[in-house]
A and B are shown apart, each in its own frame.
Chain A
Amino acid sequence: DTGVSQDPRHKITKRGQNVTFRCDPISEHNRLYWYRQTLGQGPEFLTYFQNEAQLEKSRLLSDRFSAERPKGSFSTLEIQRTEQGDSAMYLCASSLGLFGGTGELFFGEGSRLTVL
């Protein structure tokens, strides 16, 4: 399978715990995005990387959220001290950037977080 893969697919945690999600993008894609989607809403942008550089962060991304893409390949999204409001589907997507890309994002199946 050469699509975007995310792990874990489901995570149930207690309030106050830390969680980490991993995303493996399509191998030749230099851009990687994190989105959050709650029930009945469209995906909300959180942050994106070009290679290992984090180019943009949404104001939605509080200090408890941190994302990394250390070698420009896979990425992790960590949420510290989880709150019930963090319960959502966390979506990862990848794309080719300005050079050689047409802009469409390819999404993974998402990681569903439930905070009790």
Chain B
Amino acid sequence: AQKVTQAQTEISVVEKEDVTLDCVYETRDTTYYLFWYKQPPSGELVFLIRRNSFDEQNEISGRYSWNFQKSTSSFNFTITASQVVDSAVYFCALSAQAGTALIFGKGTTLSVSS
């Protein structure tokens, strides 16, 4: 069975702080895909990143970076120099192969205050 755990329910930071959102996953598949989505207060889920199980390279996109470690089954997300606009619920998700259903974690609510 596949499972995604986001142990942090809520995180509050002050602007310009760095923050890391944790994601731990479980799967028996050797090939799988990991995702992060953002759900701002408006409600629509926005895709942030996709990673396949064969690519453990970390990725950086602007203020966002992702750390994928198969040894610990983790796919953590770091926001550097957080901004108020980063306030949202962030979901980590897992799928067995491209195009199949995503299994989501329960999400981490990030609140960034000015």
A interface, CB within 8 angstroms of B: 31, 33, 40-45, 48, 50, 56, 89, 91, 93, 95-98, 101-110
Contacts and interface: CB of A to CB of B under 8 A. Distances in A.
Nearest to B49: A104
A56 B103 CA distance: 13
A93 B41 CA distance: 18
Contacts of B95: 103
B44 A42 contact: no
A48 B33 contact: no
Given A44-B104, A95-B99, A97-B99, 20 more contacts: A33-B102, A40-B107, A41-B106, A42-B93, A43-B102, A45-B101, A45-B103, A48-B101, A89-B43, A96-B99, A98-B97, A101-B98, A101-B99, A103-B95, A104-B35, A106-B47, A107-B37, A108-B44, A109-B42, A110-B44
B63 interface: no
B45 A31 contact: no
Contact of B45 (A45, A91, A95, A97): A91
A109 to B, nearest CB: 5
B106 A102 contact: no
Nearest to B6: A42
A109 B45 CA distance: 8
A48 B44 CA distance: 19
Contacts of B100: 48, 56
A89 to B, nearest CB: 7
A102 B33 CA distance: 10
B106 A104 contact: no
23 contacts: A31-B99, A41-B107, A42-B4, A42-B91, A42-B104, A42-B105, A43-B45, A43-B102, A43-B104, A50-B99, A97-B98, A97-B99, A98-B98, A101-B99, A102-B98, A103-B35, A104-B35, A104-B50, A107-B44, A107-B46, A109-B42, A109-B44, A110-B44
Nearest to A42: B104
Given A41-B107, A98-B97, A105 B44 contact: no
A53 B107 CA distance: 30
Nearest to A108: B44
